[in-house]
Structure 1
Amino acid sequence: MKWQQIPLGSLQTNCYIVENPDRSCLIFDPGSEGKKLIHLLNQRKLKPCAIFLTHAHFDHIGAVTEVREAFQIPVYIHKQEEKWLADPALNGSQLFMVQNPIKVNDADHIIKNEGAMEINDFAFSVFHTPGHSPGSLSYYFEQEGFVISGDALFQGSVGRTDLPGGNNSQLIKSIHDKLLNLPEDTYVLSGHGPVTTIGDEMDSNPFLNGF
C-alpha cells in the first residue's frame, strides 16, 4: 500500500490518495480542482472506492461532488458535521468564497464511532480529533505507519480554532490523547504543508511544548 499527496486549490489543501497493489484506492479530502484530480486518477488507472473527509471545511470538500459523480463512490464524514456539507455558513464557503459558496449533497455514510474500519482491502483506524472543528477525524494506517490528520496537526503548528465550532484546548487535548500516543516514527499527513512525523512534532512543535 502506498500514498500520494496532491495539493489542490488556492489554499493548497492536501488531498491524499491511498492505493493498494490492485490499483484500488481511497481518496481523502478532495478539496478543489476536481477535473485535475479525476484526470490524475484516470491517467494512473486507479479505481477509487470511497471518499473520506477529515472535516467539512470548504477547502477540503470543494471537489467532492465532481469526484463522487465521476466514479460513483460513497462519501464518509463524522456525524457532527454531516449537515455542514450543504450549508455554506457552516463549511465556511459563505465567508471565504462569497461568489461561489459550496453545497455538497449529503454523505452516504456517517461515522459515529471511533475504531477499526475496513473497506475493500483497506484496513485502518478512525480517531475523533475535534478542536479545529467539532467533527474532525484522523485516519491511522498502523501497518503502513502513517496517519492522515486533516487540520489537527501540522509540521510545527496546529489547526486554527477561530472558526465555528473551534476550540483550542480541545484541539491540544485531541492531539495529545489521540496522535502523540502513536509511534514516534509515524508519518503525519497533514491537511496543509509538508509531511512530518509524530516524533518531530513531540520534539519541536512550539504549540505542543509543555503539554
Structure 2
Amino acid sequence: MIIEKVVDTYFGENTYLLGDTKTKKCAVIDPGADVNDILRAANKHNLNIEYIILTHGHGDHIANVKRLKEKTNAQIIAHADEAEILLDGRKNLSTTMRCGRQEFDADIYVQDKEKMNLGELRVSFIHTPGHTKGGMCIRVADDMFTGDTLFAGSMGRTDLYSGDYKQIDKSLKKLARYEDNVKVHPGHGPSTTLGIEKRSNPYM
C-alpha cells in the first residue's frame, strides 16, 4: 500500500494519495492541495487516479475536486448525507475562500459500513457526523483517514453549517472502539494513532 500526503500550504489541509502497490490503482482523498502537486505525487509512484474520496465537503477539502476530475476522469465518492453541502457553495464555505465557489455532485454516494475495492485494497467507509452531517472516515487495513472529525490531540469544530457537538461526540466514541494500533491520518496536522488519542485526547 502506498500513502502519500500533499499539504496545501494556505489552509494546511492534508490531501492523501492512497495507492495499491500491485495494480497502481489510486484514490485521492480530499483534494484541497494544488492539482499539479497531486499529479506529481501520483507520477512518482506510477499511480493511476481512479477515485476522488471526500471525508466531507468543506471548501478547503474540495477546492480542486473539479480540476482533478477534469485531468483524470476519476469518480467522486462522498457520503450520501453530504450532498446538500457539496451542491451549495455557501454551505461548503467555498464562496469565502480563495478557491472560489465550488459546487458539484458526487458520482457515487455511500452509506455507513459500505466497502469498495481499490485494486487489492479493501476500503471501508465509516459515517462520522458532527463536523458536518455527512462527514466520514475511510479505513484501509490499519490506516484511517479521519478528515476533520479527529485530529492529533483535538477534534473538528462543530459551529459551522450542519455541525453538531453531540453528533461528533458520538462519532469519536465510535472511533474509540477500533484498535489502538490503527494509524490516524487527519485532514490537518500530523498523523497519530487511535491508541495515542484514546490515552491523551480529551475529546476521546
Which category of TM-score, normalised to the shorter sequence, fits these structures? over 0.9
Give distance in 2, aligned partners of 1:2 and 1:88: 32
C-alpha spacing 1:113/1:197, structure 2 compared with 1 (3 Å) = closer
Structure-1 separation of matches of 2:113 and 2:99: 34
Between the aligned residues of both structures, percent identity stands at 32
Match of 1:105 in 2: 104
TM-score scaled by length of structure 1: 0.90
Partner residue, 2:156 = 159
Q: Which residue of 1 aligns with 2:27?
A: 26
Tell me the SS of whatever aligns to 1:91: coil
Q: Which runs of 5+ in 2 are unaligned?
A: none
Assess if the C-alpha contact under 8 Å between 2:94 and 2:100 holds in 1. yes
The residue correspondences of 1:169-180 to structure 2 (distance < 5 A) are 169-177=166-174, 179-180=175-176
Equivalent residues of 2:144, 2:183 under 8 A apart? yes
Structure 2 residue corresponding to 1:199, chosen from 172, 195, 202? 195
Does the alignment pair 1:51 with 2:52?
A: yes
Deviation at 1:9, TM superposition (A): 4.1
Contact 1:58 1:93 in 2 (8 A): yes
| Paired residues for 1:27-106 under 5 Å | 27-94=28-95, 96-97=96-97, 100-106=99-105
The Cα offsets for residues 133-171 of structure 1, whole Å up to 9 and x where unpaired, read as 0000101113xx111111000000000001001111210
Distance 1:6-1:32 versus aligned 2 partners, 3 A rule: closer
Distance across 1 between alignment mates of 2:74 and 2:123: 19
Report the residue type matching 1:193 in the other structure.
Answer: G
Tell me what 2:144 maps to: 147
Structure 1 SS opposite 2:81? helix
User: Structure 1 residues 118 and 24 mapped into 2: Cα distance closer, same or farther (>3 Å)?
Assistant: closer
- Find the aligned partners of 1:186 and 1:78 in 2 and give their Cα distance: 22
Provide the rounded CA distance (Å) in 1 between the counterparts of 2:35 and 2:178.
Answer: 32
Cα distance, 1:5 vs structure 2: 1.6
Secondary structure of the corresponding residue to residue 160 of structure 1: coil
8 Å contact from structure 2 (residues 59, 94) kept in 1: yes
Matches of 1:58 and 1:192 in 2, distance apart? 14
Q: Distance in 2 between matches of 1:200 and 1:138?
A: 18
Which portions of structure 1, spanning 4 or more consecutive aligned residues, are displaced by more than 3 angstroms? none
Q: For residues 63-117 of structure 1, give each alpha carbon's deviation from its aligned partner in whole angstroms, at most 9, with x where no partner exists.
A: 10111111111000111111322311111122x32x6522233111111342332
* Structure 1 residue identity aligned to 2:122: A
Deviation at residue 192 of structure 1 after TM alignment: 0.4
TM-score (norm 2): 0.93
